Structure 1
Amino acid sequence: MTLIGVLAAFGGGIFGAAIGALPAFEFVGFLVMIGVAIDLAGAGGDFYSIPFGMFGPHVGGFAAGVAAAAYAAKKKKLDTGRNIVAGLMGLNSPDVLLVGGAFGILGYLLQWTFAQVPDFGPGIAWTDTVALTVAVSGIIARFLWGTCGLCGCAEPGRHFYAPTDGAKWLVFMSDWGQLIVIGLGGGLMAGYLGLTLGAPGIFLSFGIAAASLIFLQFGVNVPVTHHIMLPSAIVAVSSGSLIAAGIAGVLCAFVGEFFARTFLSHGDTHIDPPACTIATMTLVFNGLTALGVWAMIPLPA
């Protein structure tokens, strides 16, 4: 942790709020793909410190935009705190952007704190601390500016886990059939990248999934898959099995929908289902790796 890091996080948070949470995250996807290209070309350097550092989802990008949107909605300057698409510079409210800067610093401090937890072993992180920071940052923003508590306010007369289509996270990928198919497809695709490229393949699977959300920004019903593809690639590299990656993808798709219906569907601010999923499933899958479970199970390649 450095003063330069804190200042960079503050500036990145302002910028992330200014362009909006989702656009900022899409930038992360493109930056990660550039980093993979540099990595595979053998150019060296530490380019990944940009998309996972100063402009990471937890610092100067997504999380800052989420918090700024929650604040703006509380101040009646935005339609809803769940609006992660809007570029908040258009509100002409410097206070909204400063909230983004403050949460950029908060994200920097949180991720540094989580990174102090000992790993499971050499090269086996205890969880994805960036994703965990995004999730915790969203929860903090919910308690500061939301009106319905951590899990929100369910619609009267409806089961909590059966929200209306209008309340769902992504109605076009919330049914079990859709979740199974996109989970399997994303898991197999990411698993192949992981098996073929190793660690760069893990990053590339995340970058492709994140960058693809630019089409969602333009109104195309593309799936959100980074919470499916990133853990699946990790499983593929750890287990050496593409089948295991496909299964992991399906599991992550359902876990993502669970977190969406638990924290997002009934809330008036954004708590990110993919971040919750990545943090949780990385903990689970890396824990299995540390325990040597993959070596005990005869997994087909």
Structure 2
Amino acid sequence: MTSSLLLPIGGISFLHLCIAFVGGIFGAAVGALPAFILCGFFVFIGAVLMIAGAGPDFLNTFGFGFTFGPQVCFGAAVVAHMYAHKKGLSPGRDITAGLMGTKSMDVLLIGGLFGSLSVILNWLFITALPMKWGGMLWTDGVAITIFVMHLIGRLLFDMKKGFFGQVAEGESRFNPTEKSTLWLPWQMSWKELFVIGAGVGLLSSYFAMLLGADHGGAIIGFGISGLSLVFLQFGTKMPVTHHISVNAAVAALASHSLIWGLIFGVLSAFAGQFWACLFTIHADTYIDPPAAAIWSVTTISVACAALGLFTAIPLP
């Protein structure tokens, strides 16, 4: 990258911001969920190439890059949905709808602006403020970038019901019923969360330990989970599991244990529902529960590794 394109903040270039701007426009145009499904596809292909020995170049360029990375096209698209809702052009929580249909180009431009912002935020979290703990980054930079962008979007475009939304009379924030607009009605009871968390967590942990971090083991489960959401896009009551699969894989690799991976898979399933109840279920717009679960549970996993808990309590 030529020095004329470098910004004062360091390794981010003006070209990176422009590419991310286009990625944000793309995500807003096609809709946040379709954009994320495409991310899942690219991550899956990247993991397969790593398994075949091709290295991480495809994954870093497409799966988590400046255009199609989830922090760019998905994270920014969700904020564009918030803006479209404020203008009366979108239901707000419907992240399956492509916003090109609003015929409002300022909606797409909001997606572009937040796509560029995602580059800056991600750089801050993983480069400027790495806060390494035991040699590991303290959290998942992509996930916390998405989460922070959504919080900013809520502050800017959807404060009618307050920052955390408004709990309906007679309802409980953390034990909502069908009277509320639920996140995933088929994935909210403790039994449902435990079973899907344990099942996906164990499988993703197995892939992680079988393949290893250098051969796609950490992200193959995430790719499969993200790609599977194509069925949710078309109305199937699919579980949302990418937060479960990636956190389980990270914990399994850090602890060298399938059981620890399973435990963190279950924890991630419950964390997703917790963040949904806190920010999304009682509000008119969407703040992504999986992204919140990924950064928060990753932080717990890193802390457990840094403090020696995985070593002190070895599990199979």
TM-score (norm 1): 0.96
Structure 2 residue aligned with 1:215? 231
Aligned pair partner of 2:287 in 250, 271, 278: 271
Whether the 8 Å CA contact 1:67–1:141 is kept in 2: the answer is yes
Using the TM superposition, give the Cα deviation of residue 160 of structure 1 relative to its aligned residue in structure 2, in angstroms.
2.0
What runs of 5+ residues in structure 2 fail to find an aligned partner?
1-11
Aligned pair partner of 2:150 in 138, 162, 175: 138
Structure 1 residue aligned with 2:9? none
| Consecutive aligned runs of 4 or more in structure 1 exceeding 6 Å deviation | none
Structure 2 residue aligned with 1:99? 110
TM-score (norm 2): 0.91
Structure 1 residue aligned with 2:41? 30
Counterparts of 1:273 and 1:45, CA distance in 2: 27
In structure 2, relative to structure 1, the CA distance for the partners of 1:263 and 1:240 (3 Å cut) is: same
Using the TM superposition, give the Cα deviation of residue 157 of structure 1 relative to its aligned residue in structure 2, in angstroms.
2.0
Counterparts of 1:139 and 1:118, CA distance in 2: 22
Whether the 8 Å CA contact 1:202–1:234 is kept in 2: the answer is yes
Using the TM superposition, give the Cα deviation of residue 101 of structure 1 relative to its aligned residue in structure 2, in angstroms.
0.1
**Which has the larger displacement, 181-190 or 157-166?**
157-166
Structure 2 residue aligned with 1:3? 14
Structure 2 residue aligned with 1:127? 139
Q: Percent identity?
A: 47
Counterparts of 1:293 and 1:162, CA distance in 2: 32
Q: How many residue pairs end up in the alignment? A: 297
Counterparts of 2:78 and 2:175, CA distance in 1: 25
Structure 2 residue aligned with 1:233? 249
Counterparts of 1:190 and 1:25, CA distance in 2: 19
- Cα deviation code 1:147-196 (max 9, x no counterpart): 21221011012222222324211000101110110010011011101110
Counterparts of 1:42 and 1:160, CA distance in 2: 47
Structure 1 residue aligned with 2:64? 52
User: Is the aligned partner of 1:280 residue 2:292?
Assistant: no
- Secondary structure at 2:88's aligned position in 1? coil
Counterparts of 1:294 and 1:121, CA distance in 2: 13
What runs of 5+ residues in structure 1 fail to find an aligned partner?
none
Using the TM superposition, give the Cα deviation of residue 118 of structure 1 relative to its aligned residue in structure 2, in angstroms.
2.8
**Which has the larger displacement, 288-297 or 18-27?**
288-297
Query: What is the aligned-residue RMSD (CA, Å)?
Result: 1.2
